Amino acid sequence: MDGAKLFICRMLPFRFIPLLACLLGALFAAERPNILFIFSDDHARRAISAYGADLAEIAPTPNIDRLSKEGALFRQSFCANSICGPVRASVMTGLHSHKNGLMRNDSGAFDSSQWNFAKELRSAGYTTAAVGKWHLKSDPTGFDFWEVYPNQGSYYNPVFRKMDGSRVGEMGYCTDIVIGKATKWLDRRDKDKPFLLMCQFKAPHRTFCPPLRHLGAFDDVTIPEPPTLFDDYANRSKTLAENEMEIDRHMHWQYDLQVRKDEPGAAGLLPNRFPASEYGRMNEEQKAKWDAYYGPKNQEFLKKLAAGKLSEKDVVRWKYQRYLKNYLGAVKAVDESVGKLLAYLDKHNLTDNTVVIYGSDQGFFLGEHGWFDKRWMFEESLEMPFLIRWPGVVKPGLRPDGMIQNIDYAPTFLEMAGLKPPHKLDGESFVPLLKGETPRDWREAIYYAYYELGEHNVPQHYGVRTKRYKLFHLPNHREWQLFDLEKDPHELLDQSNNPEYAEVRKELEVIYHRLRKQYDAPSYEKYGPGTFKWDPDK
């Protein structure tokens, strides 16, 4: 009980205190902010114009940018394990992957019986909901309402799992459908309670399919190429050249028209091991629009290819343009949906008492190092967008300097609601950063761990990042990698064996081992599903 409530209670006869406590609880609950957590999948910072990257003018995101103008934008925001399911488990629990039990996408179902921040908010009087992508295999817990995709979900005419166990297919584009479900829940929620709404998009995860209305949205522009599009992987670990996520060697489905010769537009769908998987979900009207747009473009490309007019680099550039334009088309729909949510808050007088967060489960390679996908501790994959508006608390235009991770979300959301977690979490609340204050003992480095077993042939690795340096270890290859992000922002030169960086490496190794001990990180053996269980009471 806070000081104000305690003072009022002391002034009244004892027999009235229980009744008054209930009334005061309802009164003070009204002051707790609503929390609208908008979470997309694989949204690279480069594709958010508020971050000021080279795509800002070509593919603006005005609605997401509004959060930056009216609130805060974090440039020191990182994931703890750059892969979809484990990220979401860390967000819900405030724990690193080895403690919440979901270390890899194939680690089995997330143990939903364990504590999560939605349960805590719900028990404290919040009404809670989750719609869209969940990707944790087990049912969501801690929510009054949920409708989520089975596994990854589909872009066109997706299926949703419901609380009663049924599965229902719906016609339309996934992002549009999710935003409709979110606003419908807002309409019918218990309006006497503050709310938590987790609105989670599939986009722009592969297969990077835009809504049909945005086909051709970027036809009149040439997407700038990153300076490392043709990276030769020299001066770094030999494992980089062995990865299987190159636009060059591994994005062949971008232009392989032999899959369905009778349907020339099918190759416009990308990228999946089965290029026609999304196309096959479409109805005839949707297919006709898709074919009318992509058919001529694909045939034009094939003619040039057959005539020998395209070099290997020309083909890479063609695939890169196709990839980015579809990716940005999917992002465009996400930004429109953010705008619809903000408009809803404005219309229903909810803006002033609602915290709005926009983030993504991790970053993504948009051609940097010649790659698509994520996984690596390199910047484009490690960095997460995080923008937040909290009227009356966050000063508009704030640019916090502190380093945050997705393990920090749970304790932060709780502190927003005036709560504390019931046990020790790996994450820390960054509410002080939102108020423009950086605690003296705020972290100097973040810890990262990637546990997958060979997907895209990216090796397991574990490391730390400070504001200037990054050190990570590849135990199965007995290699270390060290990068000076100030002098080498594109991470092209490993300094781990450079005598000039010997002291830097020594200091980073101390931080690395200290954080591994702090988080009780497991040893380096190859991890099997369910190997590690963490008991917060021990």
Same domain, 387 and 500: no
Is 524 contained in some domain? no
Q: Cα 338 vs. chain centroid, distance in angstroms?
A: 15
- Angstrom distance (rounded) from CA 270 to CA 277: 9
Same domain, 62 and 186: yes
Is 193 contained in some domain? yes
Same domain, 116 and 171: yes
Q: Is 469 helix (H, G, I), strand (E, B) or coil?
A: strand
Same domain, 110 and 160: yes
- pLDDT tens for the chain, residues 1 to 538: 344 444 444 455 555 544 544 444 434 444 899 999 999 999 999 999 999 989 999 999 999 999 999 999 999 999 999 998 999 999 999 999 999 999 988 888 889 999 999 999 999 999 999 999 999 989 999 999 999 999 889 999 999 999 999 999 999 999 999 999 999 999 999 999 999 999 999 999 988 999 999 999 999 999 999 999 999 999 999 999 999 999 998 886 554 444 344 455 555 554 433 445 788 899 999 999 998 998 888 888 888 888 889 999 998 999 999 999 999 999 999 999 999 999 999 999 999 999 999 999 999 999 999 999 999 999 999 999 999 999 999 999 999 999 999 999 999 999 999 999 999 999 999 999 999 999 999 999 999 999 998 789 999 999 999 999 999 999 989 999 999 999 999 999 999 999 999 999 999 999 999 999 999 999 875 454 444 344 443 3
The pLDDT of residue 525? 59
- Angstrom distance (rounded) from CA 297 to CA 317: 15
Closest CA to 332 of 537, 508, 173: 173
Same domain, 484 and 350: no
Same domain, 196 and 167: yes
Same domain, 413 and 453: no
Q: What is the DSSP letter of 367?
A: S
- Angstrom distance (rounded) from CA 162 to CA 167: 6
The pLDDT of residue 13? 58
Same domain, 432 and 502: no
- Angstrom distance (rounded) from CA 271 to CA 445: 35
Same domain, 348 and 466: no
Q: Are 157 and 166 in contact (CB under 8 A)?
A: no
Same domain, 90 and 166: yes
List helix spans (H) across 389-478: 409-416, 431-434
- Angstrom distance (rounded) from CA 521 to CA 492: 28
Number of Cβ atoms within 10 Å of the Cβ of 222: 11
**Domain with 487 in it:** 448-518
- Tokens linked to 499: 């005598």
Looking at the structure of the chain, the number of domains it has is 2
Phi-psi group of 142: left, alpha or beta (phi > 0 → left; psi -120 to 50 → alpha; rest → beta): left
Same domain, 98 and 187: yes
- Angstrom distance (rounded) from CA 262 to CA 280: 13
- Angstrom distance (rounded) from CA 474 to CA 457: 13
Is 186 contained in some domain? yes
- Angstrom distance (rounded) from CA 379 to CA 357: 22
> Which pTM value belongs to this model?
0.90
| 362-381 per-position pLDDT tens digit | 999 999 999 999 999 999 99
Is 239 contained in some domain? no
- Tokens linked to 81: 């394990």
- Angstrom distance (rounded) from CA 417 to CA 195: 10
Q: What is the CATH number of the domain that holds 466?
A: 3.30.1120
Q: Are 356 and 350 in contact (CB under 8 A)?
A: no
Domain edge (last residue) among 401, 429, 444: 444
Is 177 contained in some domain? yes
- Angstrom distance (rounded) from CA 338 to CA 123: 28
Is 465 contained in some domain? yes
Domain edge (last residue) among 388, 414, 444: 444
| Number of residues assigned to the chain | 538
Domain edge (last residue) among 398, 416, 444: 444
Q: Is the dihedral of CA 283, 286, 292, 293 positive or negative?
A: negative
Burial category of 495 from C-beta neighbours within 10 Å (exposed 0-12, middle 13-18, buried 19 and up): buried
Q: What is the CATH number of the domain that holds 103?
A: 3.40.720.10
The pLDDT of residue 154? 94
Q: Cα 160 vs. chain centroid, distance in angstroms?
A: 20
Q: Cα 94 vs. chain centroid, distance in angstroms?
A: 15
Is 429 contained in some domain? yes
Same domain, 370 and 466: no
- Angstrom distance (rounded) from CA 362 to CA 383: 7
Is 374 contained in some domain? yes
